[in-house]
């Protein structure tokens, strides 16, 4: 009999696994490894099969800002414990119109938490980042210090390895059923093995609804997202060497600087979310979305947005798209709460920015599951499930 099985070895689940393994014995982290071929994928889908996620303290929401800060403060510990590095402190630059409330709020909140920020006028932006083309009506919010990007794949590997070193077991299988029984909970895997445990934490990300492990309607909205990647070669790599992660306040575009991918090439990535994106509900929806090429319209518009902002990218000869999914909750925060009477809990709902704060969400989920005091400035009620009919 295990103490806790965490279903989902993604950014939040694997963080919870490491923290849990520091609080109790009998921890199992359960979930499939990344498939070798996306085109043939049928197993559970994930939002972390990539090399770049932005991470920074500045955010217009104090809850996200604080949880990001506390997560970032633990990156060194996770890297040291696992021996796997995942974080690059490239800095962050938010750009927007002169009166951008998004940037104003982001800075105001970030500063209260110690973020190292600076306003840049258009000339200052061009001086520091000569590859950017910005108009006179734009200003920039720069965060240095510990802002930058993480490799979600490497972070998941690091959290899993650190959890293993703390005594957790890894079961690289998909869970297909979770059944409360009189002595605890049974978790059945895709190959038919039944694991018995006292408690379960479900952290299956955007796939939580489609995999059917939670009987209740969590009111998650899941959007398929398209990202566009430009291969960076030759002199362009040197020109962009100081590029920070970037966000554009008005459009919501986020841009990752050139990052090396497993094929050995550097890619610069852009994504822009919209509520018009594909609405994913069923396993079939996920399979179609993840094995497809994404939105053709996004491919054209994102590329054009990027080359307007970074004209040097017009020299790129290889562009491609990738697909991913994000899970939104009505509150804009993850759910970290019990689904039933103290045996099955959830930690889901990254709301498109769950990577940067994942370690802190995992910390909270771990403490909830073992009955430790909440002991966190984020109000517990903000992370509760909606009233379930
Ligand atoms: C294109 C894109 C760009 C993004 N950029 C950023 C960014 O720059 N910064 C940022 O902070 N966030 C970003 N995000 C969001 C971030 O990636 C997610 O919020 C984060 O991955 C959520 O973590 P999670 O653990 O909830 O889900 P995931 O990381 O998806 O992990 C869920 C895990 O559950 C597993 N699973 C699912 N079903 C089962 C099952 N039945 N049994 C066992 N395991 C199961 C999956 O295999 C997966 O490993 C981005 C997301 C997308 C899609």
pLDDT digits (tens, 9 = 90+) for 109-164: 999 999 999 999 999 999 999 999 999 999 999 999 999 999 999 999 999 999 99
Strand locations in the chain (E): 2-7, 27-30, 53-55, 87-88, 92-97, 117-120, 138-143, 148-150, 169-171, 175-181, 184-189, 194-202, 221-232, 245-248, 254-260, 266-271, 319-328, 335-338, 344-348
Ligand 1 near 257 CB (within 6 A)? no
d(CA 9, CA 43): 13
d(CA 14, CA 281): 24
Mutate to test the pocket of ligand 1, among 7, 29, 38, 48 (most ligand atoms within 8 A of CB): 48
Name beta bridge partners: 336: 347
108-112, 207-211, 238-242, 317-321: segment of lowest average pLDDT: 207-211
- 241 has a pLDDT exceeding 70: yes
Site of tokens 């609405």: 279
CB atoms within 10 A of CB 358: 32
Cβ proximity of 44 and 204 under 8 Å: yes
Strand order in the sheet with 148-150: 53-55, 148-150, 87-88
Q: Kindly report, residue by residue over 97-112, the tens digit of the pLDDT.
A: 998 999 999 999 999 9
Query: CB-based burial of residue 190 (10 Å sphere; 0-12 exposed, 13-18 middle, 19+ buried)?
Result: middle
Mutate to test the pocket of ligand 1, among 6, 9, 11 (most ligand atoms within 8 A of CB): 11
d(CA 62, CA 95): 20
d(CA 349, CA 328): 6
d(CA 192, CA 51): 32
Site of tokens 């920015």: 353
Ligand 1 near 207 CB (within 6 A)? yes
2-7 and 27-30 strand pairing: parallel
Ligand 1 near 205 CB (within 6 A)? yes
**Domains of the chain, earliest start first:** 2-51+152-219+331-383 (3.50.50.60), 89-149+221-328 (3.30.9.10)
* Triad 280, 284, 288: Cα angle to 5°: 80
| Phi, psi dihedrals of residue 345, rounded to the nearest 5° | -120, 165
d(CA 48, CA 355): 8
Three-state DSSP state, 279: strand
Mutate to test the pocket of ligand 1, among 10, 32, 178, 347 (most ligand atoms within 8 A of CB): 10
Ligand 1 near 44 CB (within 6 A)? yes
Nearest atom of ligand 1 to the alpha carbon of 46: 30
* Alpha carbon distance, N-terminus to C-terminus of the chain: 32
For the segment 237-264, the average pLDDT, to the nearest whole number, is 97
Q: Is the dihedral of CA 352, 130, 147, 154 positive or negative?
A: positive
- 52 has a pLDDT exceeding 90: yes
Between the CA of 325 and the centroid of ligand 1 the distance, in Å, is 8
d(CA 122, CA 144): 18
Ligand 1 near 247 CB (within 6 A)? no
Nearest atom of ligand 1 to the alpha carbon of 52: 8
pLDDT-derived band of residue 166, with 50, 70 and 90 as boundaries?
very high
pLDDT value of residue 256: 98
Atom 26 of ligand 1, residue of closest alpha carbon: 205
Angle at which helices 358-370 and 152-165 cross, to 10°: 30
- 388 has a pLDDT exceeding 60: no
Between the CA of 136 and the centroid of ligand 1 the distance, in Å, is 37
Site of tokens 């955010």: 59
DSSP 240: T
Between the CA of 183 and the centroid of ligand 1 the distance, in Å, is 31
Between the CA of 361 and the centroid of ligand 1 the distance, in Å, is 13
d(CA 348, CA 169): 22
Three-state DSSP state, 68: helix
pLDDT value of residue 290: 87
Between the CA of 328 and the centroid of ligand 1 the distance, in Å, is 12
Q: What share of the chain is helix, strand, coil (3-state, %, to 5)?
A: 30, 30, 40
């Amino acid at each position: 009999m295990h103490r806790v099985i965490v279903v989902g070895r993604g950014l939040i689940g694997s963080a919870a696994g490491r923290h849990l393994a520091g609080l109790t014995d009998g921890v199992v982290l359960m979930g499939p490894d990344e498939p070798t071929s996306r085109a043939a994928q049928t197993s559970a889908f994930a939002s972390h099969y990539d090399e770049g996620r932005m991470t920074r303290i500045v955010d217009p929401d104090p809850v996200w800002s604080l949880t990001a800060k506390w997560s970032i403060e633990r990156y060194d510990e996770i890297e040291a414990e696992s021996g796997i590095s995942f974080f690059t402190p490239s800095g962050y630059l938010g750009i927007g119109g002169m009166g951008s409330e998004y940037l104003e709020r982001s800075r105001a909140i970030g500063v209260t938490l110690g973020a190292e920020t600076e306003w840049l006028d258009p000339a200052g932006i061009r001086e520091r980042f000569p590859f950017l083309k910005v108009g006179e009506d734009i200003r920039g919010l720069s965060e240095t210090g510990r802002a930058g990007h993480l490799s979600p794949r490497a972070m998941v590997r690091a959290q899993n390895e650190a959890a293993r070193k703390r005594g957790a077991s890894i079961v690289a299988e998909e869970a297909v059923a979770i059944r409360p029984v009189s002595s605890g909970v049974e978790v059945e895997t895709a190959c038919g093995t039944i694991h018995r445990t006292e408690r379960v934490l479900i952290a299956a990300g955007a796939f939580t609804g489609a995999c059917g492990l939670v009987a209740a309607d969590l009111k998650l909205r899941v959007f398929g997202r398209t990202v566009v990647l430009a291969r960076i070669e030759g002199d362009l790599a040197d020109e962009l060497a100081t590029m920070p992660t970037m966000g554009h306040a008005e459009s919501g575009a986020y841009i990752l600087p050139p990052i090396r991918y497993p094929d050995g090439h550097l890619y610069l990535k852009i994504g822009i979310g919209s509520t018009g994106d594909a609405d994913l509900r069923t396993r079939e929806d996920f399979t179609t979305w993840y094995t497809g090429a994404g939105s053709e319209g996004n491919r054209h518009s994102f590329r054009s947005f990027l080359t307007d902002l970074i004209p040097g990218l017009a020299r790129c000869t290889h562009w491609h798209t990738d697909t991913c999914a994000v899970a939104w909750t009505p509150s804009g925060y993850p759910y970290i709460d019990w689904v039933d009477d103290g045996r099955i809990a959830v930690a889901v709902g990254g709301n498109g920015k769950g990577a940067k704060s994942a370690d802190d969400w995992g910390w909270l989920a771990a403490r909830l599951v073992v009955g430790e005091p909440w002991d966190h400035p984020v109000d517990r009620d903000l992370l509760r499930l909606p009233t379930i009919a």
